[in-house]
Amino acid sequence: MERGEETLSENKDHSTRTISVVMAITLLGKVLGLFRDHLMAVHYGTTGMEAKAFYIASRIPRVFFDVVFASAIAACFIPVFSEYLTQRGKKEAFRFGSNFLSVMALLTAVLTVLGILFAQPLVTLFADGYDPQTAELAASLTRVMFPTVLFTGVAFSFVGILQAMDRFNIPALISTVSNLVIIGYFFFLDERFGVYGLAGAYLLGWLLQAVVQAPSLRRLDFRYRPDFSFRSEGMRKAFALMGPVMISTWVQPINLTINSKFGSRLYEGAGVSAIEFSTNLYLVIAGVFVLSVTNVIFPKLSRLTGREQEGEFRETLRTTLHGCLFFVLPMSAGLMVLSRPLISFIYGGGAFDDFSVSITSQGLFWVSLGMTGYAVQNILSRAYFARQKGKVPLAAGAASILVNVLLCMALAQRMGVAGLALSSAGSSTVYALLLDIPLELRGEGVLSRSFLLDLGKMALATALMAVGAWAVAGLIEGLLPGKAGELLTLGASAAAGVAVCFPAAVLLRLDEGQLALKMVKRVWKRG
């Protein structure tokens, strides 16, 4: 083997190991998040006043942060920081990091104050179907929770620095910290302090997300130096990219807001809770893999852009998309086949009654159709941002929001929560297509004949898996009562799906299937 090939193989192995570790850590956080949501469902359900008020109050600060800063921080900061790091050295990069952190803290502090002052009209904007009492409680909880915007701004800025320095484990761990705080609250303090105490627990959890990253930054010799200059060279570059990037990253939070608004008009406001739970579970499953991959790959793409290594850039993008789709297609089908037993197992019980299970499982079924689009849009948008080009994601994002609005207007009253979920899926798919089409037209895309052939093979393996999982679920369902029966159905169906999918991938000679076979053979030889 040539030295260049050895180096390429080593780099791929390193990336695979890094992604695997990040995925495992992310999975831990997501599992804890599911347990957190389970406790929330059991304690508050979907139809009570406190449930409806809290779900919208927790969403408003998240949406405002996501709309204004969340993805924009990573998408604008990491490319500029990477440019400083490769061209000017660590000292100048850290100086820019302090400058960026100071400005973000100031802007999020201002946004926090505005959110507290205008909490009541914000609730009306987000959930105009609530009765006055529920709306008042939601506004009070919003005032308590809005400082999460400030804490999140600091935490995400820390994440950007660490990821740009190829430190991924601690950023992946931060959700675990906040989830543990909220879980602890449910076990020990909920009966005493109720829903207001829960809002405070969320606030504390987000604060700790910033605190736990500080030791890692110190080990990298990062020392914060206050610098509130908006006109520095680094901030001018970040702001120039931030406009289109910020608007293009509005898609998901705006679409969630649109769905919540329509959901507040369904089932006396319970549609908000149902779409919240179904979307959360969907994002847990999709996020474990998709976001783990994109968080690791994005800094690499940014560095390759800075070094003008176009060939390696396109190969990294191709292999990332190929590997993602190999896992995402079966996950999407699996969620659709097992939507009801999964929702019932995770959330069912207590205040989360059969009606709540029914409408939430409908939401999960239909939103899962958009998982492929969700994966593709996350990867391709990072490719554009790494090149510091945000106009195409901006236009694609605007179009997908329009699609979501039109579909919600057409489907919400006819299909209920299912219609809202289908609208989200359609929006994600449109977003992904509009990101890819310009790349393909310029000859910079990945849809070669071999790639499309492999995509067809993946679809066939996925279809076989879905049939196998569905057949086993039909045979097993109802054999045991309660949670034990639901767990048996989920476990047996998932096992059947894996038992069909991976052998199919091997027989169809997909790269990922061949790799899995090699790993099995290696383990077998080692006993």
Domain chopping of the chain, boundaries: 31-249, 251-447, 468-527
Nearest to 417 by CA among 253, 283, 269: 269
Bridge partners (DSSP) listed for residue 349: 352
Give every CB contact of residue 218 below 8 A, 6+ residues apart in sequence.
Answer: none
Q: Do 158 and 168 meet the contact criterion of CB atoms below 8 Å apart?
A: no
What pLDDT, on a 0 to 100 scale, did the predictor assign at position 71? 57
pTM: 0.70
pLDDT digits (tens, 9 = 90+) for 446-501: 888 888 999 999 999 999 999 999 999 988 887 787 888 888 999 999 999 989 98
If one counts every other C-beta atom within 10 angstroms of the C-beta of residue 137, the result is 21
Q: Is 349 helix (H, G, I), strand (E, B) or coil?
A: strand
Q: Is 455 helix (H, G, I), strand (E, B) or coil?
A: helix
What pLDDT, on a 0 to 100 scale, did the predictor assign at position 2? 47
Residue 302: alpha-carbon gap to chain centroid: 20
Nearest to 465 by CA among 490, 444, 496, 489: 496
What pLDDT, on a 0 to 100 scale, did the predictor assign at position 69? 63
Q: Which residues of the chain have pLDDT under 50?
A: 1-10
Question: What's the token pair of residue 91?
Answer: 């000292």
Q: Is 352 helix (H, G, I), strand (E, B) or coil?
A: strand
What pLDDT, on a 0 to 100 scale, did the predictor assign at position 246? 67
List the end-to-end C-alpha distance of the chain, in Å, as a whole number.
28
